[in-house]
Structure 1
Amino acid sequence: MTTMKAMSLKEGTLAIREVARPAPGSGQILVRTLACAICASDHHYMDHPEVVRADRSRMQIHAPHDDVVMGHEYCGEIVEYGPDTARAWPVGTRITATPALFTPDGLRIIGMAPDAPGGFGEYFLVSEGFARPVPESVPPENLALIDAMAVGWYYTRIGVADENAVPLVIGLGAIGLSVVIALKQRGVPHVVVADFSADRRALAQRLGADVAVDSAVEQPFTAWRRTAWGTEEDVVDRVRLFGLSTCAVYECVGREGILADIIEQCPIGTRVFSAGGAASDTIPSNTAHLKGINLQFGGGPDPADWFEMCDLVTDGTVDTGPLVGEIVGFDGLVDAFERARSSTAPPRIVFRPDRR
């Protein structure tokens, strides 16, 4: 058996191990990892096996006794084609791909099943139809963030449909920052953001946020009302609300209780996009009903959003570099994975196998 070095999840424990090197099957490409970013979705997969087991689509698989190599935000280079492929690009071409792999047992999320190893190893697999060549002029760690950027691109595509809405982005990790980038790319004139971290607020303003709120000092919706309505007053009279800006909240925290607080504090008619989402939560549904809150969980990015963002990053329109706060090799990967859980961690820590 040919093996490779990887950080694998097995028996609930992360470690650098020798695991089986994947072999490309029908329609697949074997890719050598150049860079792979640590995402909160990796933590969710590891920490909440009950959610994985409940996934009836079987796009993610709970396999505690097998080596699961996580990592779904990646960039690599072609090593070998499997059968039934068009072989559109030469071996050695730098590529990335949407994190979905067609397998004989169905579609898998790359990095969330033992038969769909991700980018925290020396090699991983992608489906040829989901792959795109990317330029060598863009650093691989920047290219690895295309998937995170596509999340913000997806949510804002839906959110900007209401031209009267002023956005409030709560939580400024990589996904929250991707929302800020996407909103400004789409020409939204006023973007309010909130986070406890001064560093993340400063970065959001560098990326285009107009108002940055320290959530420990001021209620984010107070700042939102001041920006959108010109007053800090919480207007609850529906007649007075006529003609005022509406609110679009992008929840990018993923902690229990955040949605409940948003629903209690937000204006009537707010639309909430939950890009964070705790594993489980309780919300004041009666308050949401009375306010006419529209709450959307996940649902994207769609492939079109992903490929559009891929083009924006590769042509230089969107620069993901400011989100890359640290690069580690195999020696620091397990520690970095745990440190990435903290709200004080950089927006993205990226693994590169060539780093020592």
Structure 2
Amino acid sequence: MKAARYYDNHDIRIEDIAEPEVRPGTVGIDVAWCGICGTDLHEYLDGPIFVPEAGKPHPISGESAPVTLGHEFSGVVYAVGEGVDDVRVGDHVVVEPYIIREDVDTSERNRAYHLSPDMNFIGLGGRGGGLGEKIAVERRWVHPISESLPLDQAALIEPLSVGAHAVERSGAEAGDVALIGGAGPIGLLTAAVLKAKGVTVIMSELSPIRREKALSSGVADHVFSPREVDVVEEVRKLTDGRGSDVAFECTSVDVVLNTLMDAIRPQGVLTVVSIWGHQPPFDMHKLVMKEIDLRGTIGYANNHPEAIRLVEEGKVDLEPFITGRIGLEHLVDEGFDTLINNNETAVKIIVSPSGAGL
């Protein structure tokens, strides 16, 4: 089967590899669509980061580069292993792509299993990936979805779950006002979850195309360009001088973090969603004097069922965020290159590993 294999930064190869073995307790999935994530781009440009370096196997998966990429994917079950009796061949599914030690409690009781030692992701740390035609996944991480949910949109359930977890971490409630710094894929999908919960959403974004996407998709009530207006003043105007109740940092840009610190109300909650590759200058005095609650968030923990429900109930529409559909052979030239060099023209580009969806 065809698969995109990561060897090193700037070295991704489309190769023929063996189909995965569907072992007891696993589910075989024909991958329909797989999204290109910002994490994939970081691996391509600066990695290996999550990908285990060649010759240094990951302690859980036992694999190292080359590995098959892709962790945002949907598909159709083609086989089930012994002991799996609640998923059937033909079911449509998405995957919560974790690699976690077998002795970690991943039930509803533990909302922090994703923070366990040596955690990694399918499609980065090994165990196949969504940028291959087929994959075998442990039943625990497979989530059935309705056949009424198009499989191309279903590939965005994974990043939507990131947004759902970020909103959960923030404690945002209906009637609150939220300010989001950055209208990239995660910013937009976080906004979609907030709107579904009855939160008023304000977004700050430089890109005209992404500002328009935030408004036309209906996930934002107000969108401002920090080049054109004072975002802090605009937030105060909209909140009778109080400031936003919650804020979400989705850019890893210093000035955005500082803007959110100024725009949030005293005792508000500021949730950092983006991955930071540098240590930012930070006004600790302002944090103290406003009693701001600063929280981090990473991945998801039992958030996929909620994300699926929001889409299946029509509270979130994922179609507007898909801005490109490509085949595996164009992963780098039409996918990675576009998102790296012309990211203002795209939100989410999805890939059909077999080409069947094109």
Deviations 1:126-179 (A, max 9, x none): 221232222333221101101111122222234344677421011111111112
Q: Residue 158 of structure 2: SS of its match in structure 1?
A: helix
Q: Cα 1:266–1:186, aligned 2, differ >3 Å: closer, same or farther?
A: closer
Partner in structure 2 of residue 112 of structure 1? 124
Partner Cα distance (2:75, 2:146) in 1: 11
Q: Cα 1:318–1:51, aligned 2, differ >3 Å: closer, same or farther?
A: closer
Partner Cα distance (2:145, 2:128) in 1: 21
Q: Cα 1:80–1:108, aligned 2, differ >3 Å: closer, same or farther?
A: farther
Q: Which residues in structure 2 correspond to 1:141-220 (within 5 Å)?
A: 141-161=152-172, 165-188=176-199, 190-206=200-216, 207-220=218-231
Partner in structure 1 of residue 290 of structure 2? 291
Partner Cα distance (1:37, 1:107) in 2: 21
Q: Residue 340 of structure 1: SS of its match in structure 2?
A: helix
Is residue 164–residue 246 contact of structure 1 (8 Å, CA) maintained in 2?
A: no
Partner Cα distance (1:217, 1:191) in 2: 19
Report % sequence identity. 24
Aligned AA for 1:177? L
Partner in structure 1 of residue 4 of structure 2? 7
Partner in structure 2 of residue 351 of structure 1? 351
Q: Cα 1:246–1:89, aligned 2, differ >3 Å: closer, same or farther?
A: closer
Is residue 246–residue 269 contact of structure 1 (8 Å, CA) maintained in 2?
A: no
Runs of at least 5 residues in structure 1 that lack an aligned partner in the other structure: 232-243
Q: Cα 1:26–1:221, aligned 2, differ >3 Å: closer, same or farther?
A: farther
Q: Cα 1:39–1:162, aligned 2, differ >3 Å: closer, same or farther?
A: same
Partner Cα distance (1:73, 1:143) in 2: 9
Residue 245 of structure 1, CA deviation: 5.1
Q: Residue 167 of structure 1: SS of its match in structure 2?
A: strand
Deviations 1:95-129 (A, max 9, x none): 11211246779864111113x21101111222212
Q: Which residues in structure 2 correspond to 1:57-76 (within 5 Å)?
A: 63=64, 66-76=65-75
Partner Cα distance (1:302, 1:192) in 2: 26
Aligned AA for 2:8? E
Q: Which residues in structure 2 correspond to 1:209-288 (within 5 Å)?
A: 209-229=220-240, 231=241, 244=242, 246-255=244-253, 258-263=256-261, 267-287=265-285, 288=287
Partner Cα distance (1:62, 1:248) in 2: 40
Runs of at least 5 residues in structure 2 that lack an aligned partner in the other structure: 104-117
Could you say what the CA RMSD is over the residues aligned between the two structures, in angstroms? 2.9
Is residue 9–residue 68 contact of structure 1 (8 Å, CA) maintained in 2?
A: yes
Partner in structure 1 of residue 80 of structure 2? 81
TM-score between both structures, scaled by the size of structure 1: 0.82
Aligned length: 332
Residue 266 of structure 1, CA deviation: 5.0
Partner in structure 2 of residue 239 of structure 1? none
Partner in structure 1 of residue 107 of structure 2? none
Is residue 191–residue 210 contact of structure 1 (8 Å, CA) maintained in 2?
A: yes
Deviations 1:45-88 (A, max 9, x none): 4434357679xx9679883xx321121111111122234x3232
Q: Which residues in structure 2 correspond to 1:305-316 (within 5 Å)?
A: 305-316=303-314
Is residue 36–residue 119 contact of structure 1 (8 Å, CA) maintained in 2?
A: yes
Partner Cα distance (1:100, 1:340) in 2: 24
Q: Residue 344 of structure 1: SS of its match in structure 2?
A: helix
Residue 257 of structure 1, CA deviation: 5.4
Partner Cα distance (1:61, 1:170) in 2: 38
Partner Cα distance (1:33, 1:86) in 2: 19
Q: Cα 1:246–1:325, aligned 2, differ >3 Å: closer, same or farther?
A: closer
Aligned AA for 2:346? P
Task: Say whether 1:333 aligns with 2:346.
Answer: no
Equivalent in 19, 22, 25 of residue 20 of structure 2: 22
Partner in structure 1 of residue 90 of structure 2? 92
Partner Cα distance (1:160, 1:327) in 2: 35
Is residue 6–residue 18 contact of structure 1 (8 Å, CA) maintained in 2?
A: yes
